[in-house]
Amino acid sequence: MRNAALTLGVIAGVIGLVIGFFSYGYSVFIEVFGPVGDVAPQVENVALVRGVALLAPILAIAGGAMARSSNLPGGILMLASAGGMYWAFGFGVFTMFPIAMSVLGGLFALAARQPDSA
C-alpha cells in the first residue's frame, strides 16, 4: 500500500504542477492584459489560486515521497493537497484526476500498517 501511495502521490503532484502552471499563468495574463469580456474573466481570489498552484503539487509530491518511510505525515500531506486543489480550483475535468489520486494515495498511506514486502 505504501508503494501505491508513493506512486499516486507523485503522479498527482506532477499533474497538479501542470494545472498550477496554467492557473498561475492565466491569473498573471489576465492581470497584465485585462479580462476578455465574459470569455476570460479574472479569478475571484487571485492570491488563493496562486498560493495553491504553488503549494498543492509540492504537498502531493512530498507526501508521496514520504509514504514509504513515514506513512502518517505522507498521507496527511496528500489529503491536504487534495483539499487545497478542491478549494482553489474546484472539481472539474482537469482537476478530477489529481484530486482523486491525492485522496486515494493519502488514504492508502494512512491505512498502511506495516512496510510493504520487497
Task: Output the pLDDT for position 118.
Answer: 52
Let me know: does 62 contact 12? Beta carbons within 8 Å. Answer: no
Pinpoint the alpha helices (H) of the chain: 2-33, 46-66, 71-89, 96-111
| Extents of the domains making up the chain | 2-33+42-111
113 has pLDDT over 90: no
Question: pLDDT, tens digit, for every residue of 12-49?
Answer: 999 999 999 999 999 999 999 988 888 899 999 999 99
CA distance 83 to 89: 10
Average pLDDT over residues 89-112: 95
Positive/negative CA dihedral, 93, 94, 96, 101: positive
pTM surpassing 0.95?
no
Of 48, 21, 71, nearest to 79 by C-alpha is 71
Question: pLDDT, tens digit, for every residue of 61-92?
Answer: 999 999 988 999 999 999 999 999 999 999 99
